[in-house]
Chains A and B, each alone.
Chain A
Amino acid sequence: MDRLSELPEPIQLHILSFLPMRYVVRTVILCKHWQRLWTNVQELYFSTEGFFPYEKYLAFVNRALICRGTCKIRRLRIELYLNALSPKDYEGWISYAATNNVEDLFLEFDTYYYEWLPPQCLYCNSSLKTLKLWGCRFVPDMQIRWNTLTKLSLWFSVLRNESFREIMVGAPKLEFFELFSCWGYNNLTFDSPCLRTVNVCEYETIDYENDEHDHGPILRISAPNVRSLQLTGALYRKCVLMNVSSVVHATLDFRPYIKPFREEKLKWQKENLMELGRSLKHVESLTLGIWCIEVLAQRERRRIPPQISTNKCATLNIHMKEEDLLGIVNLLKGSPNLQTLIIDMEPKFWEEPRVPDLTDSENFCIDNVANYVASQAEHVKCLLHHLKTVKITQFVEQHSVLPFVEFILKKGRVLENLVIIAKRGLDENSEEYLRIVKRWGFYEEENSPKSLLKVAQRLLSIPRASSRAVITLRSRYTL
């Protein structure tokens, strides 16, 4: 008996379900026991990786589906490169999924300026629980019936307001809805009764078929039952939030979309951001991205009073450049109830060039940002009564972080925990490490034991306003 065959068959199948089908199918030749096993795998993942030309991949998917027949299948995930001339094999796959009661269907079709039309059987399905579609175009007057669907992700797809309404009515069990770089809509009322999590990522996109560049000047989002709301991407139109009183966690991590070669006043976009902030001032936990903090920093420079919120927890995805300190101070001044501040120094959404601040002349001069920040302590009320935890993750020593930490330690009267988690360097056998060494001849880790020791010493030398404050510095090294 071989080692894998000692495991019960369901476990063997479960292990296989983590592999792309190319490897799963090949187990047919391992030995006699394995000859039929692969057809019983219930979670199928077809990846285009390793197939060339494209026709061979199509043939592979079709053959594999035929060979496994009607064995129970729970999840079907298929990658595909599609253009207007592609054969419509996918229609057969979707109907296979429908007839075999697939619960999780992922159709990751890379389409490049072309959208595919879902066949009829995809609009009405009573076995689907999770559905992810890339690059499809919903036909507006189709009735949608997804009685069992709980998670829906649409990427690069066209969704008109009418189709969106159909989904809200036709998917009564929907809990999670994600729209990533989709277009065609401007009125999103997320009112399916169980819907709790909504992520909208906007990018300026052009509807090639209808040559429409404009999807309406305003995006209206209403989310009456939603608890977690996330708005990301590059916003190219005004966004208005309505009925968001049940939102507990909110994320505003977007930047404005600036049309290339066209100087635009960003004024309305900044105003829009502040308006979104006002709509979300009641949420318990708020996450802000690079551009949002940049706008707050500009307001601070202009001595504009902070916008008040009742947030208890704030998470900032920023690099902690000098200018960011002004943004943080502005945020802290406006968050008198803040208990927890988390700064993640490795922002998740990709970095783009700084958005120019076209009204520089209105700024007050701040020579030394660190001194300025220290001078604002009396206006930061959360330091007196609430701010208990400050956490910095993906920490890299650079000149703006420690002045901020010093400010928190010296002025935080009720601080209990300051946690700093150092960014982990590359492992010596990782691909990235080898690539860098090959290119540059050496790799220097940002957080070397020596530099971390210095940070630790500096941290310990700062006087603390709170006697209960505990400092934790965590890294891969024992210092």
Chain B
Amino acid sequence: MVKLKSNDDKEFEVEEAAVIQSEMIKNMIEDGCATSVIPLPNIDSKTLIKVIEYLNKHINMGKAAETGEEDDLKEFDEQFVNMGWEELFDVIMAANYLNIHELMELCCQSAADRLKNKSVRAVREMLKITNDLTEEEEQEIINDAPWAFEGPEIDDTVN
């Protein structure tokens, strides 16, 4: 068992087999730097719980492909990324910090899926982007690169 500590001082015990999916922690363990508790100053307990949930589920991922359990994992993954933008970005940051490749791919894919087919207006609203371009500047961008705005207008709804 490996102990992880979130930035709000909560400790979590995780099986080594699960936690070594994080390249960062794997390296720490290999270098013998993971003797007691591993502090994670960038991750709060709420996010860490999510990450651990993922790690525990994916513990035997290589094996799952052989035994036909991929569907089960796929279903889990679909449910897992069913979260708000804030939470998703927190998990992305954590996955990036801990260097968990699969989790990073899953979450970035989900972020991209949410943006696909969306109009500029919808993307701004979803991501709370303040438009600091004036109308003239916007028009100028469109005039400079009309090719970039070809095609039918896209989905204007948020979500």
Contact = CB atoms under 8 A, between A and B. Distances in A.
Interface of A: 2-8, 11, 14-20, 22-23, 25-32, 34-35, 50-52, 56, 59-60, 63-64, 67, 285, 313, 315, 340, 342, 344, 391, 393-394, 421, 424, 474, 476
B147 A59 contact: yes
Contact of A67 (B92, B130, B145, B154): B145
B150 interface: yes
Contact of A29 (B127, B128, B141, B147): B141
Interface residues of B, number: 44
8 contacts: A3-B128, A11-B108, A19-B116, A30-B131, A51-B151, A56-B150, A56-B151, A421-B68
B36 interface: no
Given A6-B89, A7-B92, A20-B116, A63 B148 contact: yes
Interface in B117-159: 117-118, 120, 123-124, 127-133, 138, 141-142, 145, 147-152, 154
A31 B96 contact: no
Contact of A16 (B66, B112, B117, B138): B112
Interface of B is mostly: helix
A228 to B, nearest CB: 12
A476 B66 CA distance: 21
Given A31-B129, A59-B147, A391-B67, A18 B141 contact: no
A83 B96 CA distance: 44
B146 to A, nearest CB: 9
A30 B123 contact: yes
A32 B108 contact: no
A337 B150 CA distance: 61
A374 to B, nearest CB: 26
A285 B68 CA distance: 13
* 6 smallest beta-carbon distances between A and B, as pairs: A18-B112, A2-B129, A393-B68, A25-B148, A63-B147, A50-B151
A474 B132 contact: no
Contacts of A4: 89, 111, 127, 129
A474 B109 CA distance: 28
Interface in B82-133: 85-86, 89, 92-93, 96, 104, 108-109, 111-113, 115-118, 120, 123-124, 127-133
Contact of B116 (A23, A30, A315, A424): A23
Given A27-B123, A29-B120, A56-B150, A424 B75 contact: yes
B115 A19 contact: yes
B145 to A, nearest CB: 7
A29 B138 contact: yes
B152 A29 contact: no
Given A14-B108, A18-B108, 18 more contacts: A3-B86, A4-B89, A4-B127, A7-B89, A11-B93, A11-B108, A15-B111, A17-B112, A18-B111, A18-B113, A19-B112, A50-B151, A52-B151, A59-B147, A63-B145, A285-B66, A342-B68, A344-B68
Contacts of B93: 7, 11
A2 B127 contact: yes
Contacts of B113: 18
A5 B129 contact: yes
Contacts of B68: 315, 342, 344, 391, 393, 421
A89 B135 CA distance: 35
B24 to A, nearest CB: 16
B30 interface: no
A475 B69 CA distance: 12
A30 B115 contact: no
A157 to B, nearest CB: 28
A2 B124 CA distance: 9
Contact of B130 (A2, A51, A56, A394): A2
A114 to B, nearest CB: 26
B149 A26 contact: yes
